[in-house]
């Protein structure tokens, strides 16, 4: 498809049909008032500073009426000239019969592919908003696709058709539409409806922009937290490995040796927990440090206690450096898999729930 030039103004897609000679499910309503309403919508979109994206100039579709009103408002000299982007299959033409010298510019964008439907729905999604009036299945699908991408929508339900179904769906999904917006979209047509619809579209766009900005800010905040967590994990790993350098030669256990033996693996445990947490959508490295410290304490003390039971005289000639090669690895693994460590602890059987014959205080049979 031919790519249109960069757009400096928000672009609104116009979709639908109010042709009384066609059958729609659900049926159209208030068909006689629809053309005039579409012209009013076009005028208000021009006054609000929107450009248009349309797909046909045939009078059986609402685009012809909307563009007519759009051109009338753009030609009075009171507002900036607008642009109508006409997306067409390669074998079709468009002629809106606009007066010469009007304030609106027509830009034809031809689709060279054979899948016109794909191009049609993709174009709707690429717009900054969509106006749906009447129509049938394709109008309903266009509205649902736009809704799934949080595109601001104006499904004018008073004329029925596919737009009415989209209005019902929008009431369930909401996106950036407020209660008063939904009430306006479902209300009967009134003299000020077009102006209020343009304001409704502007409001949805403003809320969508604010939501996108908040999402980007949250993503940047998460990236900063993740980067900080990774830096903290790297620092903890380096500090734990310094224990291998500073541990010294074997000697009787003292405060310095025990601090090295227990402190280095606990630092590694916190590093493992922070690294594990960096894979989560919302990293919280301070909480992970505490969890890693708890899991590392359990794992390291269990290992050291087992060594003391096996070699009671270990503290008389404590080789901290040799033990650190094991306990640092154990601590890091415990921190990285802290959820498994705590799950293993929770899975330990309760002595009070064991059979009487297996309780420690039960008499021998």
What is the share, in percent, of the chain residues with pLDDT greater than 90?
52
| Contact status, residue 85 vs residue 52, Cβ threshold 8 Å | yes
Rounded CA-CA distance 175/167 in Å is 12
According to the model, what pLDDT value does residue 210 have? 95
Same domain for 175 and 31: yes
Nearest one of 167, 166, 165, 161 to 23, comparing CA atoms: 161
- Could you tell me the CATH number of the domain that includes residue 139? 3.40.50.450
| pLDDT exceeds 70 at position 3 | no
Contact call for residues 300 and 264 (beta carbons, < 8 A):
no
- What is the per-residue pLDDT across 331-343, written as a single tens digit (0 to 9) for each? 999 888 876 656 6
Digit-coded pLDDT (tens) for 154-212: 999 999 999 999 999 999 998 999 999 999 999 999 999 999 999 999 999 999 999 99
Is 287 part of any domain? yes
Pair of tokens at residue 178: 């407020």
Tens of pLDDT along 311-331?
888 888 899 999 999 999 999
* Domain enclosing residue 46, as ranges: 11-190
Residue 32 domain flag: yes
pLDDT band at 234 (very low <50, low <70, confident <90, very high): very high
Are residues 22 and 96 located together in one domain of the fold? yes
Q: What is the pLDDT of residue 21?
A: 85
- Asked whether residue 4 is domain-assigned, the answer is no
Would you say 189 and 31 are in contact if contact means Cβ atoms under 8 Å apart? Answer: no
Residues 36 and 154 in one domain: yes
If asked whether residues 87 and 167 sit together in one domain, one would say: yes
Asked if residue 321 and residue 270 are part of one domain, the reply reads: yes
**Could you give the percent of the chain with pLDDT greater than 70?**
88
Same domain, 136 and 232: no
């Amino acid at each position: 498809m031919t790519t249109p030039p960069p757009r400096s103004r928000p672009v609104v897609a116009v979709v639908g049909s109010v042709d009384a000679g066609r059958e729609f499910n659900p049926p159209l309503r208030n068909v006689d008032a629809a053309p005039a309403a579409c012209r009013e919508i076009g005028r208000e979109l021009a006054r609000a500073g929107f450009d248009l994206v349309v797909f046909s100039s045939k009078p059986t579709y609402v685009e012809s009426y909307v563009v007519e009103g759009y051109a009338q408002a753009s030609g009075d000299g009171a507002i900036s000239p607008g642009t109508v982007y006409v997306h067409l299959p390669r074998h079709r033409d468009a002629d809106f019969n606009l007066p010469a010298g009007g304030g609106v510019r027509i830009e034809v964008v031809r689709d060279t592919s054979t899948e016109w439907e794909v191009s049609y729905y993709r174009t709707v999604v690429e717009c900054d908003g969509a106006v749906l009036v009447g129509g049938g299945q394709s109008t309903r699908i266009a509205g649902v696709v736009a809704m799934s991408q949080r595109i601001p929508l104006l499904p004018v339900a008073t004329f029925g058709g596919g737009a009415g179904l989209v209005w019902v769906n929008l009431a369930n999904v909401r996106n950036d539409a407020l209660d008063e917006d939904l009430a306006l979209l479902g209300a009967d047509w009134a003299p000020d409806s077009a102006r209020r619809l343009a304001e409704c579209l502007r409001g949805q766009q403003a809320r969508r922009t604010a939501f996108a900005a908040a999402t980007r800010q949250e993503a940047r905040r998460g990236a900063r937290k993740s980067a900080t967590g990774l830096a903290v994990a790297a620092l903890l790993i380096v500090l734990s490995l310094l224990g291998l350098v500073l541990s010294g030669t074997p000697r009787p256990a003292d405060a310095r040796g025990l601090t090295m033996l227990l402190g280095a693996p606990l630092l590694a445990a916190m590093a493992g927990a922070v690294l594990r947490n960096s894979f989560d959508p919302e990293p919280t490295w301070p909480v992970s440090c505490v969890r890693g410290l708890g899991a590392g304490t359990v794992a390291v003390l269990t290992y050291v206690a087992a060594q003391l039971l096996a070699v009671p005289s270990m503290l008389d000639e404590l080789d901290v450096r040799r033990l650190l090669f094991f306990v640092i690895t154990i601590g890091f693994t415990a921190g990285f898999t802290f959820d498994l460590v705590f799950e293993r602890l929770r899975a330990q059987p309760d002595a009070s729930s064991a059979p009487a014959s297996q309780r420690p205080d039960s008499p021998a049979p």
